Amino acid sequence: MPKDAPLHDLPAPDVLGPVLDRLRQIVAQSGDALLLGEGVVSPDAALLDACSTALHHMAAANKIEAERCRDADSIKGWWTDADRARLDALLDRVQEREATAVQAMRKAKKIRAVTPAGIYAKALVVRASRTGARELARSLAVDLVECKGLRQCLWSGEPASA
Protein backbone atom coordinates (compact mmCIF):
# COMPACT_ATOMS: atom_id res chain seq x y z
CA MET A 1 0.00 0.00 0.00
CA PRO A 2 1.43 3.43 -0.86
CA LYS A 3 2.30 5.59 2.14
CA ASP A 4 -0.28 8.22 1.20
CA ALA A 5 -3.11 5.74 0.58
CA PRO A 6 -6.00 6.17 3.01
CA LEU A 7 -6.68 3.28 5.34
CA HIS A 8 -10.41 3.81 4.91
CA ASP A 9 -12.21 5.02 1.82
CA LEU A 10 -13.52 8.10 3.59
CA PRO A 11 -14.51 11.18 1.66
CA ALA A 12 -12.02 14.03 1.85
CA PRO A 13 -12.19 15.98 5.15
CA ASP A 14 -13.60 19.03 3.37
CA VAL A 15 -16.48 16.82 2.14
CA LEU A 16 -16.93 14.62 5.22
CA GLY A 17 -17.07 17.52 7.71
CA PRO A 18 -20.18 19.16 6.23
CA VAL A 19 -21.83 15.75 5.77
CA LEU A 20 -21.28 14.85 9.43
CA ASP A 21 -22.46 18.31 10.48
CA ARG A 22 -25.66 17.90 8.44
CA LEU A 23 -26.37 14.41 9.80
CA ARG A 24 -25.88 15.70 13.35
CA GLN A 25 -28.09 18.71 12.60
CA ILE A 26 -30.93 16.43 11.45
CA VAL A 27 -30.53 14.35 14.62
CA ALA A 28 -30.54 17.46 16.83
CA GLN A 29 -33.59 18.93 15.06
CA SER A 30 -35.40 15.62 15.43
CA GLY A 31 -34.57 15.48 19.13
CA ASP A 32 -35.78 19.06 19.63
CA ALA A 33 -38.97 18.38 17.68
CA LEU A 34 -39.62 15.26 19.72
CA LEU A 35 -39.12 17.09 23.03
CA LEU A 36 -41.05 20.21 22.06
CA GLY A 37 -43.79 18.40 20.17
CA GLU A 38 -43.40 20.64 17.15
CA GLY A 39 -41.40 20.42 13.98
CA VAL A 40 -40.33 17.44 11.93
CA VAL A 41 -38.90 14.32 13.51
CA SER A 42 -36.75 12.39 11.06
CA PRO A 43 -37.72 8.72 11.03
CA ASP A 44 -34.00 7.99 10.56
CA ALA A 45 -32.72 10.10 13.47
CA ALA A 46 -31.33 7.11 15.40
CA LEU A 47 -29.74 5.71 12.23
CA LEU A 48 -28.18 9.05 11.31
CA ASP A 49 -26.80 9.35 14.84
CA ALA A 50 -25.25 5.86 14.68
CA CYS A 51 -23.79 6.46 11.22
CA SER A 52 -22.34 9.86 12.08
CA THR A 53 -20.78 8.35 15.20
CA ALA A 54 -19.24 5.52 13.17
CA LEU A 55 -17.92 7.91 10.52
CA HIS A 56 -16.50 10.26 13.15
CA HIS A 57 -14.60 7.47 14.88
CA MET A 58 -13.40 5.95 11.58
CA ALA A 59 -12.04 9.33 10.52
CA ALA A 60 -10.33 9.79 13.89
CA ALA A 61 -8.80 6.30 13.72
CA ASN A 62 -7.59 7.00 10.20
CA LYS A 63 -5.94 10.25 11.33
CA ILE A 64 -4.25 8.59 14.31
CA GLU A 65 -3.05 5.68 12.14
CA ALA A 66 -1.56 8.14 9.65
CA GLU A 67 0.26 9.84 12.54
CA ARG A 68 1.50 6.45 13.73
CA CYS A 69 2.83 5.61 10.26
CA ARG A 70 4.61 8.97 10.01
CA ASP A 71 6.17 8.41 13.43
CA ALA A 72 7.31 4.91 12.49
CA ASP A 73 8.79 6.17 9.22
CA SER A 74 10.67 8.93 11.01
CA ILE A 75 12.55 6.54 13.30
CA LYS A 76 16.13 6.19 12.12
CA GLY A 77 18.03 3.05 13.03
CA TRP A 78 16.89 0.60 15.68
CA TRP A 79 13.67 1.24 17.55
CA THR A 80 14.02 2.00 21.23
CA ASP A 81 11.62 0.95 23.96
CA ALA A 82 10.34 4.53 24.02
CA ASP A 83 9.65 4.37 20.26
CA ARG A 84 7.74 1.11 20.66
CA ALA A 85 5.79 2.49 23.62
CA ARG A 86 4.77 5.63 21.67
CA LEU A 87 3.72 3.60 18.62
CA ASP A 88 1.87 1.07 20.79
CA ALA A 89 0.01 3.91 22.53
CA LEU A 90 -1.06 5.28 19.15
CA LEU A 91 -2.15 1.81 18.06
CA ASP A 92 -4.24 1.49 21.24
CA ARG A 93 -5.96 4.78 20.40
CA VAL A 94 -6.67 3.56 16.85
CA GLN A 95 -8.14 0.32 18.17
CA GLU A 96 -10.33 2.18 20.70
CA ARG A 97 -11.73 4.40 17.96
CA GLU A 98 -12.30 1.44 15.65
CA ALA A 99 -14.08 -0.49 18.41
CA THR A 100 -16.40 2.45 18.99
CA ALA A 101 -17.05 2.71 15.24
CA VAL A 102 -17.85 -1.02 15.07
CA GLN A 103 -20.37 -0.66 17.93
CA ALA A 104 -22.08 2.18 16.05
CA MET A 105 -22.07 0.11 12.84
CA ARG A 106 -23.70 -2.82 14.63
CA LYS A 107 -26.38 -0.47 15.90
CA ALA A 108 -26.89 1.02 12.40
CA LYS A 109 -27.32 -2.37 10.73
CA LYS A 110 -30.33 -3.07 12.95
CA ILE A 111 -32.12 0.14 11.96
CA ARG A 112 -34.02 0.30 8.68
CA ALA A 113 -33.31 3.38 6.56
CA VAL A 114 -36.52 4.97 5.32
CA THR A 115 -35.26 8.32 4.02
CA PRO A 116 -32.63 9.21 1.43
CA ALA A 117 -30.49 10.64 4.25
CA GLY A 118 -30.57 7.30 6.07
CA ILE A 119 -29.65 5.35 2.94
CA TYR A 120 -26.86 7.80 2.15
CA ALA A 121 -25.49 7.62 5.69
CA LYS A 122 -25.44 3.81 5.65
CA ALA A 123 -23.73 3.83 2.25
CA LEU A 124 -21.04 6.21 3.54
CA VAL A 125 -20.32 3.91 6.47
CA VAL A 126 -20.12 0.82 4.26
CA ARG A 127 -17.78 2.65 1.91
CA ALA A 128 -15.59 3.86 4.77
CA SER A 129 -15.23 0.54 6.57
CA ARG A 130 -12.05 -1.49 6.23
CA THR A 131 -13.91 -4.75 5.74
CA GLY A 132 -16.86 -3.56 3.70
CA ALA A 133 -19.14 -4.09 6.71
CA ARG A 134 -20.84 -7.13 5.23
CA GLU A 135 -23.87 -7.14 7.55
CA LEU A 136 -24.35 -3.38 7.27
CA ALA A 137 -24.02 -3.65 3.48
CA ARG A 138 -26.67 -6.37 3.46
CA SER A 139 -28.91 -4.14 5.58
CA LEU A 140 -28.30 -1.27 3.14
CA ALA A 141 -29.20 -3.51 0.20
CA VAL A 142 -32.50 -4.44 1.88
CA ASP A 143 -33.22 -0.76 2.53
CA LEU A 144 -32.51 0.11 -1.10
CA VAL A 145 -34.73 -2.67 -2.44
CA GLU A 146 -37.56 -1.75 -0.09
CA CYS A 147 -37.35 2.00 -0.82
CA LYS A 148 -40.58 2.83 -2.65
CA GLY A 149 -39.30 6.21 -3.76
CA LEU A 150 -36.28 4.64 -5.44
CA ARG A 151 -38.44 2.08 -7.22
CA GLN A 152 -40.74 4.86 -8.40
CA CYS A 153 -37.75 6.78 -9.81
CA LEU A 154 -36.50 3.71 -11.66
CA TRP A 155 -39.84 2.37 -12.85
CA SER A 156 -42.31 5.22 -13.05
CA GLY A 157 -45.10 2.80 -13.97
CA GLU A 158 -44.91 0.96 -10.64
CA PRO A 159 -47.75 1.87 -8.28
CA ALA A 160 -46.75 3.67 -5.08
CA SER A 161 -48.33 0.98 -2.88
CA ALA A 162 -45.99 -1.80 -4.11
Closest CA to 124 of 8, 3, 6, 46: 8
Q: What end-to-end distance do the CA atoms of the chain give, in Å?
A: 46
DSSP single-letter state for residue 156: T
The residues, ordered by sequence, that sit 6+ positions from 129 with a Cβ below 8 Å of its Cβ are: 8, 58, 105, 136
pLDDT tens profile 72-104: 999 988 999 999 999 999 999 999 999 999 999
Question: How many Cα atoms within 13 Å fall on the side-chain side of residue 86?
Answer: 13
Asked if the model's pLDDT at residue 145 lies above 70, the reply is yes
Asked if the model's pLDDT at residue 115 lies above 80, the reply is yes
According to the model, what pLDDT value does residue 32 have? Answer: 66
Q: 98, 57 in Cβ contact below 8 A?
A: yes
pLDDT tens profile 21-34: 777 787 777 776 66
According to the model, what pLDDT value does residue 39 have? Answer: 66
